[in-house]
């Protein structure tokens, strides 16, 4: 599998200097990434190795996992790898690095920026021969809006990636948060974990240096067998430290652009944003205080009572979406009986 990095203690990557300030990684300037770094490989413990060929095939990837699991940098690696072999790469966040060839020549590589989801849809026919990388895709096409025009159009675009020689990759903390039809197109589900946070990696590796990818072949296009058939997971070690500095780790995708829907004029084939003033009218801090108080006095709350206590109407999409996001932070979820409960182990705050 060519697209996985191999850790080599004697390589130049281990000698790359980085500085730690206030718990964050700071890299001076745009990083150098050597071509051979992308072409190294590593098989899983079973000895099996399968190649991901972004030129001959069209894949859809999902990088999932907990906060701090190195999802975004894994996504960046995949897009950077595509650029290193001459493919186009589009991102919804800025990416740039210097690609260093074996003869020592350096070439500045910059990802093509996707400024808004509406622009992506409008120009979708121009996305060819490369890969589209979207961070925090659950905010763009979430499972809650499965019937929206935006989700339906995006799902149709991804269903046609093979015809355009295109690959698509996205991140989502939980894969189930993404639109059902998009998940139906998924080929590889990759669980990402920072090795420094695993029991056997603590004290051995630095934070953000190496990721453990546990790959499931959902569609069977990669290994020839679907995960639901053989239930086999393929673990790979990805050494991602060379990508430090290739993108701003504090960059935040515009959540309102992600959540905003759009209208389609089928006669003129014009796509336009919906009312940009449609934003939540209830402050997130107020919702947070209400929710904490609700679950201090209730262990379980029925759906109707839940929304009534919050003062949010059924058709109030913006405030409901805001409430769902706050619920995720506080570990509030629905149980098997569809009641809202607070799972303190799932708190992401």
What is the pLDDT, as a whole number, of residue 95?
A: 92
Among the ranges given (198-212, 255-269, 316-330), the one the predictor scored with the smallest mean pLDDT: 255-269
Grouping H, G, I as helix, E, B as strand and the rest as coil, residue 277 is coil
Interval 249-266 mean pLDDT: 61
Grouping H, G, I as helix, E, B as strand and the rest as coil, residue 292 is helix
Residue 292 reports pLDDT greater than 50: yes
Grouping H, G, I as helix, E, B as strand and the rest as coil, residue 52 is coil
CB 348 within 8 A of CB 331: yes
What is the pLDDT, as a whole number, of residue 192?
A: 93
Interval 303-326 mean pLDDT: 83
Give the model confidence (pLDDT) of 13-24 as tens digits. Answer: 333 334 443 444
Q: Which residue, 167, 178, 174, is CA-closest to 192?
A: 174
Grouping H, G, I as helix, E, B as strand and the rest as coil, residue 290 is helix
Residue 166 reports pLDDT greater than 80: yes
Q: Whole-angstrom Cα distance, residue 109 to residue 119? A: 22
**Would you list the domain boundaries of the chain?**
12-255, 284-346
- Between 182 and 9, the more confident residue is 182
Architecture of domain 12-255: 3-Layer(aba) Sandwich (3.40)
What is the pLDDT, as a whole number, of residue 317?
A: 74
Residue 279 reports pLDDT greater than 90: no
Q: Which residue, 121, 107, 113, 25, is CA-closest to 73?
A: 25
Residue 63 reports pLDDT greater than 90: yes
Grouping H, G, I as helix, E, B as strand and the rest as coil, residue 155 is helix
Give the model confidence (pLDDT) of 188-244 as tens digits. Answer: 999 999 998 888 888 888 888 889 999 999 888 888 888 888 888 888 888 888 888
Residue 77 reports pLDDT greater than 70: yes
Rg (CA), the chain: 21
Look up the CATH number of domain 284-346. 1.10.10
């Amino acid at each position: 599998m060519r697209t996985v990095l191999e850790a080599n203690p004697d390589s130049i990557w281990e000698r790359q200097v980085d500085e730690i300030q206030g718990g964050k990684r700071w890299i001076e300037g745009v990083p150098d990434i050597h071509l051979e770094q992308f072409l190294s490989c590593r098989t899983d413990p079973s000895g099996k190795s399968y190649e991901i060929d972004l030129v001959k095939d069209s894949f859809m990837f999902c990088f999932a996992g907990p906060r701090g699991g190195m999802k975004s940098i894994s996504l960046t690696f995949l897009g950077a790898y595509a650029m290193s072999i001459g493919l186009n790469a589009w991102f919804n966040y800025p990416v740039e690095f210097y690609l260093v060839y074996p003869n020592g020549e350096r070439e500045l590589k910059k990802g093509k920026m996707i400024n808004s989801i509406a622009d992506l849809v409008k120009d979708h026919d121009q996305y060819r021969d490369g890969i589209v990388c979207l961070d925090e895709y659950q905010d763009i096409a979430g499972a809650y809006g499965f019937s929206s025009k935006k989700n339906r159009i995006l799902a149709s675009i991804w269903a046609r990636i093979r015809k355009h020689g295109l690959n698509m990759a996205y991140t989502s903390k939980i894969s189930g948060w993404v639109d059902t039809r998009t998940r139906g197109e998924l080929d590889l589900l990759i669980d990402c974990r920072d090795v420094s946070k695993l029991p056997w990696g603590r004290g051995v590796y630095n934070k953000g240096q190496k990721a453990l990818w546990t790959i499931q072949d959902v569609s069977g296009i990669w290994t020839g067998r679907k995960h639901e058939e053989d239930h086999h997971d393929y673990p790979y070690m990805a050494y991602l430290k060379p990508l430090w500095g290739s993108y701003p780790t504090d960059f935040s995708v515009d959540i309102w652009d992600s959540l905003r829907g759009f209208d389609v004029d089928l006669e003129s084939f014009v796509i336009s944003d919906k009312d940009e003033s449609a934003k939540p009218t209830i402050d997130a801090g107020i919702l947070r205080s209400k929710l904490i108080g609700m679950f201090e006095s209730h262990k379980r709350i029925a759906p109707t009572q839940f929304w009534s206590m919050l003062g949010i109407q059924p058709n109030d999409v913006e405030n409901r979406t805001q409430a769902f996001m706050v619920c995720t932070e506080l570990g509030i979820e629905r149980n098997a009986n569809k009641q809202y409960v607070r799972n303190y182990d799932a708190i992401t705050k």
